[in-house]
Amino acid sequence: MKRAILLIPGWLAITAALLYAIVMLDMRWNFFDWHPTWDSEALAYLLVIAGALLAVPFIARATRDRVSQIASLVVCLALMVAILSLPAEHTSHGLLGRTAVSPLWYRAGRALLLSLPGIFWLWWPLRLWWRAAQHGGPADGSQPLR
């Protein structure tokens, strides 16, 4: 139980950092119109995104008990809502009107970045199951695999 108490805030901190950096980068590059600016602030957001994504496989591998698996699944599913950002933005005139939409590579990359924690969350249990199925051991990883 102590492990779950440590893993759940870890998942929340990593996904909060990832979400914060992606939203702030999106606000900087794509809020009113598509105007990416490559400066130190954008680089800092990209480094936070990279750091959070590097931490996800480690915490996903450590997540084995049911309580932290359920909590991390909820967090990963909440991030998967990013797929809704794939359609192009509407262009219009007026105060908050856009003259150009963001490119597809940017929208797809943003959706992929927010989907990666869920992909890593699935990777470790599937990997354990696959290895156990090949070697005839239990799927929970309780025995060392040959």
Q: Which domain holds residue 89?
A: 2-115
**Cα(59)–Cα(42) distance, integer angstroms:** 26
135 part of a folded domain: no
**Cα(124)–Cα(122) distance, integer angstroms:** 6
Angle between helices 66-79 and 104-135 (to 10 degrees): 150
pLDDT exceeds cutoff 60 at 142: no
pLDDT at 130: 81
Quickly tell me which residue has 């354990």 as its tokens: 128
Q: What is the mean pLDDT of residues 85-93?
A: 74
21 part of a folded domain: yes
123 part of a folded domain: no
141 part of a folded domain: no
Number of folded domains that form the chain? 1
Looking at per-residue pLDDT, the higher value among 29 and 94 belongs to 29
131 part of a folded domain: no
63 part of a folded domain: yes
